[in-house]
């Protein structure tokens, strides 16, 4: 096939693709706040949520963040987004990974406190995006009741987006979500013996 | 099982888990810049890369960003990260999705220009993280040569992290990567007839 033929074929294929995309966009009717869930064993669940924070800030929104489980260590995201206290309401509630604390009753109490903060953000009309980082872990361990969480999500302002992250999202949350992404691990340097890297892993 | 027994079992399980994690961390030997690839049909490939930008900035690193394909529209990330011109070198090289341009030779020329900018960032010792957003699309369409791209990635500064995003990462890039994450679509509001949302999709 000549270069000219290849170009022509490419043009035809892209024209068909554009028609399909335009049609899809025209069909999309509603505009309201979405509930997104990032789950799975791969990387990128939290960092994708923090990318959305940057995106939302770029659109002039205010953002709320609650970190449920990790957060004993100061992460790069936290250091960065705390630069904008007028725009980002940032709350680190967890006291480290659950295998560091080894105290279930304390984890339950801490998760309850974190949810109180989250509920406050979910009631604020001026906040366009709420990130509930590692909430899935708190749900999976039974530290929080799913029905209570879903009720508070349900009654949030109509325009407010919410992103929930963490492995093992419960089926009831997946059911309630508008968009669910499973981050699957294909290959991981950590397993191959490379240290967790500043700026990448934390 | 009583609440006390459940707590005790939880503690024992978490102790075992902590031992496993500590062992893994101790085994991790090397500290060098990673090559990460975010691919798959799900959401979060680019936003996860931009979350890492925030993370890196929080650690005081400088960051370079090249957007290869999309970017005719000003996205939220761009608006936000352009606030920090001293810390983020941000380059939007693409002219919209390939089905909008429908001109293969122009796409090839644009991709070549974008790679020249990327190569410049990959040679800078003061940059800790380089994001090559939608590079996989340019590779998949044959707009850039994989061996040339891999050679430039290979010769970057030892400490420099690179994140490559886009559907359809070529096998040679996956082979070269330290970490590969496949973002898989579980459920998508757009397909269900919801408009692309500002702050979420763009």
Task: Considering only residues A20 and B24, tell me which one the structure prediction assigns the higher pLDDT.
Answer: A20
Range in A71-80, A161-170, B58-67, B150-159 with the lowest mean pLDDT: A71-80
What pLDDT, in 10s, does the model give residues A55-96? 999 999 999 999 987 654 458 999 999 999 999 999 998 765
Interchain proximity A104–B180, CB inside 8 Å: no
Of A24-28, A40-44, A151-155, the least confident: A24-28
Pairwise pLDDT comparison (A13 vs A172), residue with the higher score: A172
A158 contact partners, CB below 8 Å, separation of at least 6: A32, A33
- Among A25, A44, A104, the residue with its CB nearest the CB of B48 is A44
Q: Rounded CA gap, A167 and A38, in Å?
A: 8
Contact list in B for residue A51 (CB cut-off 8 A) is: 44, 46-54, 77
Token pair listed for B178: 């330290």
Mutation for A interface: B7, B54, B90, most A CBs within 10 A? B54
Put simply, the answer to whether B55 touches A180 (Cβ < 8 Å) is no
> B32-88: per-residue pLDDT in tens?
899 999 999 888 899 999 999 999 999 999 999 999 876 544 589 999 999 999 999
Query: Mean pLDDT over residues A133-160, rounded?
Result: 94
Q: Which of A6, A61, A200 sits opposite B52 (nearest CB)?
A: A200
| Structure-derived torsion over alpha carbons of residues A114, A117, A119, A125, reported in degrees to the nearest 10 | -150
Q: Which of B46, B55, B100 sits opposite A199 (nearest CB)?
A: B55
SS (H, E, C) chain A: CCHHHHHHHHHHHHHHHHHHHHHHHHHCCECCCCEEEEECCCCCHHHHHHHHHHHHHHCCCEEEEEECCCCCCCCHHHHHHCCCCCCEEEEECCCCCHHHHCCHHHHHHHHHHHHHHHHHHHCCCCEEEEEEECHHHHHHCCCCCHHHHHHHHHCCCCCCEEEEECCCCCHHHHHHCCEEEEEEEEECCCCCCECCCCCCCC
If you count residue pairs, one on A and one on B, with CB atoms under 8 Å apart, how many are there?
A: 280
A196 contact residues in B (CB cutoff 8 A)? 25, 28
* Cross-chain residue pair A30–B129, CB shorter than 8 Å: no
Q: Which of A103, A180, A181 to mutate to test the interface with B (most CBs of B within 10 A)?
A: A181
What percent of chain B has a predicted confidence (pLDDT) above 90? 55
Q: Give B171-196 as a DSSP string.
A: HHHHHH-SEEEEEEEEE-TTTTTBPP
Q: Write down the pLDDT at residue A105.
A: 85
Q: Looking up tokens 């850039």, which residue turns up? A: B144
Best residue of B74, B179, B193, B195 to probe chain A, by most A CBs closer than 10 Å? B179
Query: Which residue in B has a C-alpha nearest to residue A41's C-alpha?
Result: B181
Q: For residues A51 and A181, give the distance between their C-alpha atoms in angstroms, rounded to a whole number.
A: 15
Model confidence at A133, in pLDDT bands (50, 70, 90)? very high
Pairwise CA distance, residues A76 & B58, whole Å: 4
pLDDT recorded at residue B110: 87
CA–CA dist A147, A155 (Å, integer):
12
Residue in chain B nearest A61 by alpha carbon: B199
Mean pLDDT of B139-166: 95
> Between B28, B34, B57, which is nearest A193 by CB?
B28
> Does B40 contact A194 at a Cβ distance shorter than 8 Å?
no
State mean pLDDT over B3-24: 73
């Amino acid at each position: 096939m000549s270069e000219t033929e290849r170009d022509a074929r490419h043009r035809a294929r892209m024209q068909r693709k554009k028609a399909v995309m335009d049609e899809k966009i025209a069909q999309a009717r509603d505009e309201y706040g979405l509930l997104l869930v990032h789950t799975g064993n791969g990387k990128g669940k939290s960092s994708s949520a923090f990318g959305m924070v940057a995106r939302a800030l770029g659109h002039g929104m205010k953002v709320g963040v609650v970190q449920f489980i990790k957060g004993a260590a100061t992460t790069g995201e936290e250091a960065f987004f705390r630069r904008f206290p007028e725009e980002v309401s940032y709350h680190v509630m967890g006291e480290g990974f659950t295998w560091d604390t080894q105290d279930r009753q304390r984890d339950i109490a801490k998760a309850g406190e974190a949810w109180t903060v989250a509920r406050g953000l979910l009631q604020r009309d001026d906040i366009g995006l709420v990130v509930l980082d590692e909430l899935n872990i708190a749900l999976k361990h039974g530290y929080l009741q799913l029905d209570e969480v879903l009720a508070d999500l349900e009654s949030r302002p109509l325009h407010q987006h919410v992103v929930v992250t963490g492995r093992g999202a419960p089926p009831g949350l997946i059911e309630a979500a508008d968009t669910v992404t499973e981050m699957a691990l294909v290959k991981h340097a950590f397993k191959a013996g490379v240290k967790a890297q500043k700026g990448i892993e934390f």
